[in-house]
Amino acid sequence: MSYTRRLLAFACLPLAGALALTGCGPGSDDTGSDDAAGGRTRTVEGANGQVEIPAEPERVAVLWRPTLAAVTGLGHEVVGTMGTPGSADQELAPFLPAGVDGGALTLVTNSPVEDDVNIEALATTEPDLIIGVETPMGSQAEMLDSLEAIAPTVLLEWEGTGSWRGHLEEVAEVLGAQEAAQEALGAYDTAIEEARARIEGAGVDPAQTEVSLVRLQDETEIRLETPESFPGQVIDDLGFARPDTQSEAEGDTDFISRSYENLEQGDGDVVFAMAGSGFADAPDTFTDGVWSNLNAVQDERIYRVDYDFWGAANHHGAHRIIDDVTAALTGEMDPAV
What letter represents residue 244's amino acid?
Answer: D
Cβ-based neighbour number of residue 192 at 10 Å: 17
pLDDT at residue 62 tops 90: yes
48 - beta bridge partners?
none
- pLDDT value of residue 192: 98
The DSSP code for 117 is B
Residues shown for the chain:
337
C-alpha dihedral, 98 to 135 to 115 to 61, nearest 10°: 40
Element (H, E) at 52: strand 49-54
**Residues contacting 300, CB < 8 A, separation 6+:** 335, 337
C-alpha dihedral, 83 to 84 to 88 to 90, nearest 10°: -110
- pLDDT value of residue 35: 55
- pLDDT value of residue 25: 38
CA distance 69 to 164: 10
| Cα radius of gyration (the chain) | 21
User: 70's torsion region: left (phi>0), alpha (psi -120 to 50) or beta?
Assistant: alpha
Grade residue 162 by pLDDT with cuts at 50, 70 and 90: confident
Please give the residue that has the higher pLDDT: either 189 or 8: 189
- Contact between 60 and 125 under an 8 Å Cβ cutoff? The reply is no
Instruction: Give 105-114 pLDDT, tens digit per residue.
Output: 999 886 667 7
**Overall average pLDDT of the 81-92 stretch:** 86
Instruction: Give 118-157 pLDDT, tens digit per residue.
Output: 999 999 999 999 999 988 777 799 999 999 999 999 999 9
pLDDT at residue 205 tops 90: yes
Instruction: Give 6-43 pLDDT, tens digit per residue.
Output: 233 323 323 222 223 333 333 344 555 555 555 799 99
Point out the least confidently predicted range of 159-163, 192-196, 224-228, 256-260. Answer: 159-163
CA distance 67 to 176: 15
**Overall average pLDDT of the 179-192 stretch:** 97
pLDDT at residue 211 tops 70: yes
Q: Count helices and strands (H / E) in the chain.
A: 10, 12
